Chains A and B, each alone.
Chain A
Amino acid sequence: MAVVLLLIASIAGLRVPLSPALVHVSPSRIMPGEVMIDVTGYNTRFADGMRTYLVNDNQYVCPISVDVIDATHARIVAEVPAGMRASMTDIVVQGMTYPGAFFTESLGEGIESGSCAPTPPKLDLTGLGFTFPNRSILYESIRNLFFHVPMWFTMIALMGIAFWQSIKVLGNTDLERDRAARSAVQVGLLFCGLGLVTGAVWARATWGAFWTNDVKLNGAAVTALIYLAYLVLRGSIPDLYKRARLAAIYNIFAFVLLVLFLFVVPRLNAIDSLHPGNGGNSGFNDLDLDNRLRIVFYPAVAGWVMLGIWMMDLRTRTARLIEQMDR
């Protein structure tokens, strides 16, 4: 089941194309007079006669000519008047907006709008089928959503299981539950590592660095340290029952403090995070048509969590067999 869900999520997550968008516009500064604008699209289908205009605070400028080079490149010539109101001008091609495309000079009281707008044609998605949102900065890396985020969900789930098993160990020192707690921590640490790797790659692509001083990154680092310390503690106690009990006590203590650190201290400190949904960053929820992501995201989460639990179970059973063989 987990494997099937993961296969579906991975294939869909990697194969589904991004929806078309404008990715590059040059020049970045326009002055009054005739300007030549090169527009580059991604997954776009530029065609002759497509509708194009510049937008500046509800003022519209129509192009003189639109020269389509191929499906993703076009050259637009427009006569830019002096006296526009806002310092940033957007460009719209085939209903796709590139916001803040140009710094605008010679500002003034406003201009007469051209007749090409304001009836923006809707973005034409027919024939493309199922697509993911195309967001500036993210672009293709939006697919990492199906890998990076479920890693942390799985890790928290596994550490939660370890916490629960540890509480049970305190009741009566049951070595089977102790083995389960240890396996959960080990597999959880694996997912923590994978989450860090996928996160580092994603951060390099979008923020420009593999590691940043971010609340969530600190949380991940502390989690890794805590559970590595848990394994070190286990390794330093030879007596089986004593090891089970001490490890359980540490695990309970650590998990409660960890939950406080991950979910309470960031709010207390009110430190901004670069992650979506924090510090004024938009979350994935307000992506246009975010349901397209959810269709793949939820199966991916379920698949990864189930895979993690299955791995934990396998580890528990092999650990039991090894101990029986030793005896």
Chain B
Amino acid sequence: MRASEILSILRLEVALDLRQRASWGGMLLYVVSAVYVSYLAVKGGLGVALWNALFWIILLFAAFNALSRSFQREDQGRQLYLHTLVHPRSVVMARTLYNAFTMVVLSLLSLLFYALFLGTAVLEGADLGQFLVAVVLGAIGFATVLTLIAAIAARAGNGLGLMAILGFPLVLPMLLAVMRASKLSLDGVAWSVTSTYFGGLLLLDVITVTLAWLLFPYLWRD
């Protein structure tokens, strides 16, 4: 694993995504549709708890949708080609980084749309800085857990369906922690309260990335 390898794979990902802009458009449209559907379904005010819960549910499904494609592009030939060029660990690190970046951008955009449609009344009493930290950390957490799951599902030759089944119970702990942290920050509590959650989430991310780093080479061996 080398930094230059990771960088070149990252560059490849960006180039591919710039060439196929439809995939980013698809992800965004998915989120916007989800937000609009919930706007139509809710019709009117939501309490802090529900506002928060709905946001994270939308983000969760957006994450599954967005990250499932991260290993779908590889057919057998391309995977072999990558395998001969770089170490598998470089691949998984680059993908994790890129997915984390994708998720952060996607979650901030979703937050924008969500606030636009479902109202910002909830945000008035909130500590915005904390809430944004919670959103970013949650997005990174989803990305780290789901990257390896997406790889397993892609190798099993069964896309989104299997990924949802495999990933959901593993994301759940993270989802519970981040929902609670963001709820607390919406209530405007002090940093000292939420920082334990943020610390825990970071720790969870580090452990997940370490596991992905350890396990991924075995996944790519045939």
Contact = CB atoms under 8 A, between A and B. Distances in A.
A88 interface: no
Contacts of B208: 257
B180 A269 contact: yes
B155 A242 contact: yes
B162 interface: yes
B165 A170 contact: no
Interface in A219-240: 222, 225-226, 229, 232-233, 236-237
Interface stretch (A89-97, A128-136, A258-266, A297-305): A258-266
Contact of A245 (B148, B196, B218): B218
Contacts of B218: 170, 245, 248-249
Given A256-B207, A260-B204, A246 B173 contact: no
Interface string B90-120: 0000000000000000000000000000000
B170 A246 contact: no
B150 interface: no
Contacts of B196: 268
Contact of B170 (A226, A233, A268): A226
Contacts, number: 83
B171 to A, nearest CB: 9
Overall SS of chain B's interface: helix
Nearest to B214: A252
A245 B177 CA distance: 31
Contacts of B222: 242
A115 B212 CA distance: 74
Given A245-B219, A246-B152, A253-B215, A218 B200 contact: no
Interface in B177-222: 177, 180, 196-197, 200, 204, 207-208, 211-212, 215, 218-219, 221-222
Contacts of A269: 176-177, 180, 197
A242 B162 CA distance: 16
Contacts of B28: none
| Contact count band on B | 20 to 34
Given A252-B211, A268-B200, A222 B172 contact: yes
B173 to A, nearest CB: 4
B156 interface: yes
Interface in B151-178: 152, 155-158, 162, 165-166, 168-170, 172-173, 176-177
Interface string A193-219: 000000000000000000000000010
A246 B148 CA distance: 11
Nearest to B216: A249
B169 A265 contact: no
B152 A260 contact: no
Contacts of B200: 264-265, 268
A252 B204 contact: no
Contacts of A225: 168-169, 172
A229 B166 contact: yes
Contacts of B152: 233, 246, 249-250
Contacts of A232: 162, 165-166
Nearest to B219: A249
Contacts of B212: 253
B176 A265 contact: yes
Interface in B25-62: none
Interface in A173-188: none
Contacts of B204: 260
A226 B155 contact: no
Given A245-B218, A268-B177, A256 B169 contact: no
Contact of B148 (A226, A236, A253): A253
A254 interface: yes
A264 B219 CA distance: 28
B162 A226 contact: no
A222 B173 contact: yes
Interface of B: 145, 148-149, 152, 155-158, 162, 165-166, 168-170, 172-173, 176-177, 180, 196-197, 200, 204, 207-208, 211-212, 215, 218-219, 221-222
6 contacts: A233-B166, A236-B156, A248-B218, A253-B211, A256-B211, A269-B180
The 5 closest A-B pairs by CB, nearest first: A225-B169, A261-B173, A268-B200, A226-B169, A229-B165
